[in-house]
């Protein structure tokens, strides 16, 4: 072998070992498409400010998963020839937190430590608005069944209507893990579009007079009520629906840290440091599940379309019950606060405030809307619990 043929052989082997070579192999174009998609999401996060705390790590994870040769999501494997255990990729180990349902409840712990349930306790009727907004979950579930998704997949698509990222991730890892990236991206993308999706629906379903309704000031809530609330809800909900225990228990524990006022450091740790660390892990690993083969298919488009249906119908459900409550209370409830029942804390409440203030600048609906808003968080966790408890039934339906 002369020098030149040896040289060209080495160069050829080196080129084939790089990630670039994978782009020119059959199906390699999919990697390029996914890289472009991840860059678009990155652009939306950085320059359009769409949920940057989540979309940026998700899009970066998506980029990493689609760089051929990086193998960051590769699981541990035993070499059949040598019997040696080859270690998996970094993101594979972090993904275990998603797979085992550890990260979403920890996010709920932080959310609980940040959330004031006072408006909900002050006006318990507003909890029903949070229940009405869950109608979007079940309508999207039905729609997904109608267009050919399996019942397990349909349940995960439906939960997008809960506008609750951790709940969507938690449920999807349990029922349809192959759809995790699609569901998480749809959920977080639509959540970031709440200020765009909700106002037209709210205006369409309400009259100008209804939007201008001023609500009475909420009563102050005592510390005792705020301390008893998380404990009582934990006992009640978990006894009724044990499957939603991980989410509800962590949400309420975080809130107890906050309201007891004797564990300020724990509340701070949960709502700041831990929450941000988990957000990084969950974002990057969820994005990393968006491999070209699982993401680039017709089902993804179906999920995105049904996610929009879920979000819109959830908003409509909340507003319509708000209208009914407005009639029953002789105009004491502004129907706009029903739209906040879709979770997306606190953005949906802010949207209700903004739309109400457009009709009547002296109208302050924010605290009233926070009641259905936090009720929506509990409601979507309960809906996830219902789907989990029906897992066996869904499997029998699929057969």
Partner 1 sequence: MGFMAQGLSVCVIGMVVVGAVLQLISMMMDLFKALMYKEAAPKHNEKKDISDKTAEAGAPGGNPAGADELAAAITAAVAAYCAASGSPADKFVVRSVRPAAPAAHGRRTLL
Q: Closest separation between CB of residue 68 and partner 1, Å? A: 34
Q: Closest separation between CB of residue 138 and partner 1, Å? A: 4
Q: Compare residues 292 and 308 and give the one whose CB is closer to partner 1.
A: 308
From the list 219, 272, 301, 328, which residue makes contact with partner 1 (rule: CB under 8 A)? Answer: 219
Indicate whether 229 belongs to the interface with partner 1 (CB under 8 A).
yes
Nearest of 351, 330, 65, 5 to residue 191 by alpha carbon = 351
From the list 102, 228, 280, 291, which residue makes contact with partner 1 (rule: CB under 8 A)? Answer: 228
Indicate whether 306 belongs to the interface with partner 1 (CB under 8 A).
no
Q: Which of residues 50-109 bind partner 1 (CB under 8 A)?
A: 50-51, 53, 107
Question: In this structure, which long-range contacts are made by residues 140-147, counting pairs with CB atoms below 8 Å and at least 24 apart in sequence?
Answer: 140/306, 140/307, 140/309, 140/310, 140/313, 143/306, 143/309, 144/302, 144/306, 147/302, 147/306
Q: Compare residues 62 and 378 and give the one whose CB is closer to partner 1.
A: 378
- Cβ distance 151 to 309 under 8 Å? no
Q: Which of residues 98-137 bind partner 1 (CB under 8 A)?
A: 107, 110-111, 114-115, 120-121, 124-125, 127-128, 130-131, 134-135, 137
Q: Which segment (15-23, 199-207, 216-224, 286-294) binds partner 1 by CB under 8 A?
A: 216-224
Q: Compare residues 64 and 348 and give the one whose CB is closer to partner 1.
A: 348
Indicate whether 227 belongs to the interface with partner 1 (CB under 8 A).
no
Nearest of 345, 317, 385, 389 to residue 128 by alpha carbon = 317
As a dihedral over the C-alpha atoms of residue 73, residue 77, residue 81, residue 83, rounded to 10 degrees, the angle is 140
- Cβ distance 50 to 189 under 8 Å? yes
Q: Which of residues 308-367 bind partner 1 (CB under 8 A)?
A: 343-347, 350, 353-354, 357, 364, 366
81 preceded by cis ω (within 30°)? no
Indicate whether 222 belongs to the interface with partner 1 (CB under 8 A).
yes
- Cβ distance 145 to 353 under 8 Å? no
The token pair that represents 264 in the structure block? 């300020």
Indicate whether 172 belongs to the interface with partner 1 (CB under 8 A).
no
Let me know if 361 is exposed, middle or buried by CB neighbors in 10 A (0-12, 13-18, 19+). exposed
Q: Closest separation between CB of residue 51 and partner 1, Å? A: 7
- Cβ distance 105 to 249 under 8 Å? yes
Q: Which of residues 182-211 bind partner 1 (CB under 8 A)?
A: 191-192, 194-195
Nearest of 287, 253, 268 to residue 108 by alpha carbon = 253
User: In angstroms, rounded to a whole number, what is the distance separating the alpha carbons of residues 257 and 209?
Assistant: 41
The token pair that represents 278 in the structure block? 């988990």
Q: Which of residues 30-49 bind partner 1 (CB under 8 A)?
A: 49
CB atoms within 10 A of CB 195: 14
Q: Which segment (8-16, 201-209, 307-315, 389-397) binds partner 1 by CB under 8 A?
A: 389-397
State the binding string over 248-287 for partner 1 (x if CB under 8 A, else -).
----------------------------------------
Indicate whether 173 belongs to the interface with partner 1 (CB under 8 A).
no
- Report helix, strand or coil for 86: strand
């Amino acid at each position: 072998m002369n020098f030149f043929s040896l040289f060209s052989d080495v160069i050829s082997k080196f080129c084939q070992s790089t990630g670039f070579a994978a782009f020119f192999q059959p199906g390699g174009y999919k990697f390029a498409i996914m890289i472009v998609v991840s860059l678009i999401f990155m652009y939306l996060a950085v320059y359009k400010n769409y949920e940057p705390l989540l979309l940026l790590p998700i899009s970066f994870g998506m980029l990493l998963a689609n760089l051929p040769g990086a193998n960051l999501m590769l699981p541990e494997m035993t070499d059949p020839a040598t019997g040696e255990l080859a270690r998996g990729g970094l993101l594979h180990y972090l993904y275990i937190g998603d797979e085992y349902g550890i990260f979403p409840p920890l996010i709920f712990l932080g959310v609980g430590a940040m959330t004031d349930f006072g408006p909900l306790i002050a006006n318990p009727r507003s909890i029903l608005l949070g229940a009405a907004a869950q109608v979007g979950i079940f309508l999207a579930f039905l729609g997904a069944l109608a267009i050919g998704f399996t019942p397990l997949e349909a349940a995960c698509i439906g939960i997008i209507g809960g506008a609750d990222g951790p709940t969507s991730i938690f449920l999807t890892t349990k029922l349809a893990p192959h759809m995790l990236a699609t569901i998480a991206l749809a959920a977080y993308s639509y959540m970031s579009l709440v200020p765009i999706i909700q106002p037209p629906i709210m205006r369409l379903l309400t009259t100008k007079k209804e939007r201008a309704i001023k609500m009475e000031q909420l009563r102050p809530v005592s510390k005792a009520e705020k301390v008893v609330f998380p404990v009582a809800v934990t006992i009640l909900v978990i006894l009724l629906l044990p499957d939603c225990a991980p989410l509800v228990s962590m949400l309420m524990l975080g809130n107890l840290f906050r309201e007891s006022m004797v564990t300020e450091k724990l509340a701070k740790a949960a709502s700041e440091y831990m929450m941000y660390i988990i957000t990084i892990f969950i974002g990057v690993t969820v994005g990393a599940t968006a491999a070209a083969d699982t993401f680039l298919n017709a089902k993804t488009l179906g999920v995105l379309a049904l996610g929009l249906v879920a979000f819109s119908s959830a908003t409509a459900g909340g507003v319509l019950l708000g209208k009914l409550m407005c009639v029953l209370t002789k105009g004491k409830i502004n129907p706009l606060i029903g739209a906040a029942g879709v979770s997306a804390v606190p953005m949906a409440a802010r949207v209700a405030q903004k739309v109400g203030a457009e009709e009547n600048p002296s109208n302050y609906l924010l605290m009233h809307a926070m009641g259905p808003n936090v009720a929506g968080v509990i409601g979507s966790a309960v809906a996830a619990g219902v789907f989990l408890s029906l897992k066996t039934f869904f499997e029998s339906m699929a057969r």
